[in-house]
A and B are shown apart, each in its own frame.
Chain A
């Protein structure tokens, strides 16, 4: 039998203050980063026009910028693959569907050396749609969190467990958001999907350990809470590590080779899988301990 982890006996509860501190620091740095850099909301939410073009010969960023500036198309540009592919983006409310796109295309005709281009991609998101999508995204996140609290609270007949699970989940989504902010990546609809998946995964890990805690409570009714939680985490640790590893490998491959369309999604998931495990063993369960301990009783 191959084993990654042999019988472990880490004392997670003893180090809980350290974990709380680490998480506090991460969240603090996240708040600072979000306050200073903010989040880069994608076209889906701000509205605007995006065009991805490939030129038949390399064009420098400076050349491209100068023709776009000359046309007063107030655009941000980003280059892919060796100066032949560019993403040109104009964010902000635009009432008319082809207005900006036509401006950009007119500007591209002025590039020196008779360069021609093919349009790989073009997006236009009108102001109403952007607003609507942002509303729906927020709605999806808030409602799903709420339903998860209700479900976990119901399954473990204890709202504290539900809340602890959701605190862990919010922690993970927040860390993923921070990572997106630090890495200057854009939040679009697909990233919102990634956030929700992270939420689902994070709560999964928590649920597995909670399930074990519930079972151990039945089997060892006299065991002190701290010992019981440590036992439960350690018993499920090899599952936690293996599952996380398989998900991590999968997402890593997507991140490295999946192409630009799902790169942000994969990046988010990479961060989420790691912090998902951390929050479960180091945050959610110690929080339950802290709560039960304060009351001076064991449920």
Chain B
């Protein structure tokens, strides 16, 4: 075995490796969408796969901001963020929409991609709900009643736009009490509740939550059970407050306020005017846990399924068309040299797809453009080499010299070209998970591979061909 054999062996080995890496992706996308959904449901999705971006397959991208001002005083933002991400992931997993990349962006942003979901209202509710379940005692004192009378006589809301009580109400509010809206807004007097601010137990102690149907009215309700610790606290608390009203408060809204008849240890029911869907989603968010603070949607991008299909067709077809034109040109203009360059270009493409599959990269439309540009760089490298060779041929040098000098002289230029383009693309990485990052990823990986295929591989081919002692070079 000489050096050349090693080179050819490396190339062959890489080709086999690439085929092995690409196979799961090809296999996956040749399945029907129904089959894919089934496999995703049982978590048999291949581990390394080239993903299609939302602009190509349709879906919704949401960027959420954690409202850190509403965090507990002793809570670290970074801890709260990881918990929020985990909880959102849990909720989405239970909701069942398949692979959903969720990632942290910056200090307090969370990016959520929902492939295939273009009707977002339900998903937004599911993700955006804080789902903080609290239990408060209802204050039934005269002072509290006076507050309710005042509020009922008012025209507008007792809260200002920042959510604080208006001064007139705040003035007469009993110390240690809070005012909460009721979920059932009717003309009756109980649109608001005055509650004792202390919270003995929260949804954090929940073990389970599920939808049940009310025996009497047939409306959906949510039954929940506490874990042992929560059950103990809740039992002690209810036991000490028999005869009082217990408000069940979800995200600051009182859903019901039944009388405590007896000590309750570990279970309860939330009643309210839910539809079946709402009750189902509420049970999901209660099971998944409460977010450490509310989240707000600060960016939302929806691509309908039709448009995704349309752009993938146009994008890929035109990319292929452009590719073929360039390949053809190279073969006509540089003959055998062009053919070798084209072959290297083909390998470049195969390696690029393999690398992207391995890194679970996401292919977006700008990503396809990035791919084309990196292939154009590979072509440029070969044009540089071939033009150099032509110059050396014109000087009448023998074939082995032509090849050696062609590569040696073009090399520094090729490195410089790749480096400068690479510098430009690397700064695009900071653009989160969007289409522009797709561009940066394909261009960066593509440039690395292009350096390898357009110089190392083509040279190995020429060297192999030199072993037959050719007298002339067809370029």
Interface membership of chain B positions 203-227, coded 1 if the CB is closer than 8 angstroms to chain A and 0 otherwise: 0000000000000000000000000
B373 at the interface (CB under 8 A from A): yes
Q: A119-B302, A249-B326, A261-B55 are in contact. Are A155 and B416 (CB under 8 A)?
A: yes
Residue in chain B with minimal CB distance to A195: B424
Residue in chain B with minimal CB distance to A51: B302
Q: A204-B417, A207-B413 are in contact. Are A261 and B365 (CB under 8 A)?
A: yes
Q: A124-B300, A144-B423 are in contact. Are A262 and B369 (CB under 8 A)?
A: yes
Q: Is the CB of A208 within 8 A of B384?
A: yes
Q: Is the CB of B299 within 8 A of A144?
A: no
Number of A positions contacting B (CB below 8 A) = 71
Q: Is the CB of B318 within 8 A of A258?
A: yes
Q: A148-B420, A211-B416 are in contact. Are A124 and B301 (CB under 8 A)?
A: yes
Shortest CB-to-CB span from B365 to chain A, Å, is 5
Within 8 A of A (CB), among B96-120: 106, 118
Q: A151-B419, A200-B420 are in contact. Are A193 and B428 (CB under 8 A)?
A: yes
Q: Is the CB of B318 within 8 A of A203?
A: no
Within 8 A of A (CB), among B374-421: 376, 379-380, 383-384, 387, 390-391, 409, 412-413, 416-417, 419-421
Interface membership of chain B positions 227-264, coded 1 if the CB is closer than 8 angstroms to chain A and 0 otherwise: 00000000000000000000000000000000000000
B306 at the interface (CB under 8 A from A): yes
Q: Is the CB of B314 within 8 A of A258?
A: yes
Q: Is the CB of B417 within 8 A of A193?
A: no
Count of chain A to chain B residue pairs whose CB atoms are closer than 8 Å in the complex: 198
Q: Is the CB of B304 within 8 A of A118?
A: yes
Q: Is the CB of B420 within 8 A of A243?
A: no
A267 at the interface (CB under 8 A from B): no
Q: A140-B430, A193-B436, A238-B387 are in contact. Are A122 and B300 (CB under 8 A)?
A: yes
Q: A1-B475, A126-B298 are in contact. Are A207 and B369 (CB under 8 A)?
A: no
Shortest CB-to-CB span from A209 to chain B, Å, is 9
Q: Is the CB of A208 within 8 A of B417?
A: yes
Q: Is the CB of B436 within 8 A of A189?
A: yes
Q: Is the CB of B301 within 8 A of A122?
A: yes
Q: A2-B332, A249-B326 are in contact. Are A204 and B421 (CB under 8 A)?
A: yes
B319 at the interface (CB under 8 A from A): yes
Within 8 A of A (CB), among B439-468: 439-440, 443
Segment of A20-28, A128-136, A220-228, A286-294 in the binding face: A128-136
Within 8 A of B (CB), among A173-204: 189-190, 192-193, 196-197, 199-201, 203-204
Residues of A within 8 Å of B321, CB to CB, are: 253, 257
Cα of A4 to Cα of B47 in the assembled complex, Å: 49
Number of B positions contacting A (CB below 8 A) = 71
The answer, among A141, A207, A261, for a CB contact under 8 Å with B416, is: A207
Q: Is the CB of B413 within 8 A of A190?
A: no
B366 at the interface (CB under 8 A from A): yes
Shortest CB-to-CB span from A21 to chain B, Å, is 28
Q: Is the CB of B322 within 8 A of A140?
A: no
The answer, among B368, B420, B431, B475, for a CB contact under 8 Å with A207, is: B420
Residues of B within 8 Å of A256, CB to CB, are: 318
A259 at the interface (CB under 8 A from B): yes
Q: A2-B333, A121-B303 are in contact. Are A201 and B390 (CB under 8 A)?
A: no
Cα of A245 to Cα of B443 in the assembled complex, Å: 20
Cα of A190 to Cα of B175 in the assembled complex, Å: 56
A115 at the interface (CB under 8 A from B): no
Q: Is the CB of A143 within 8 A of B427?
A: yes
Q: Is the CB of B435 within 8 A of A253?
A: no
Q: Which residues of A contact B (CB under 8 A)?
A: 1-2, 4, 52, 54, 97-98, 118-126, 128-129, 132-133, 136, 139-141, 143-144, 147-148, 151-152, 155, 189-190, 192-193, 196-197, 199-201, 203-204, 207-208, 211-212, 215, 235-236, 238-239, 242-243, 245-247, 249-254, 256-262, 265-266
Other A-B pairs, 11, CB within 8 Å; known A207-B417, A250-B322: A125-B299, A129-B63, A193-B428, A197-B421, A211-B412, A247-B373, A247-B380, A254-B318, A257-B314, A258-B314, A262-B366
Q: Which residues of B contact A (CB under 8 A)?
A: 55, 63, 65, 106, 118, 124, 296-304, 306-307, 310-311, 314-315, 317-319, 321-323, 325-326, 329-330, 332-333, 365-366, 368-369, 372-373, 376, 379-380, 383-384, 387, 390-391, 409, 412-413, 416-417, 419-428, 430-431, 434-436, 439-440, 443, 475
The 8 lowest CB-CB distance pairs between A and B, nearest first, are A259-B314, A200-B421, A126-B298, A200-B424, A253-B322, A257-B318, A140-B427, A250-B322
Ordered by A's residue number, 13 sampled pairs between the chains whose C-beta atoms are within 8 Å are A118-B304, A132-B106, A193-B428, A193-B436, A196-B428, A197-B425, A199-B424, A200-B423, A243-B379, A254-B369, A259-B315, A261-B311, A265-B369
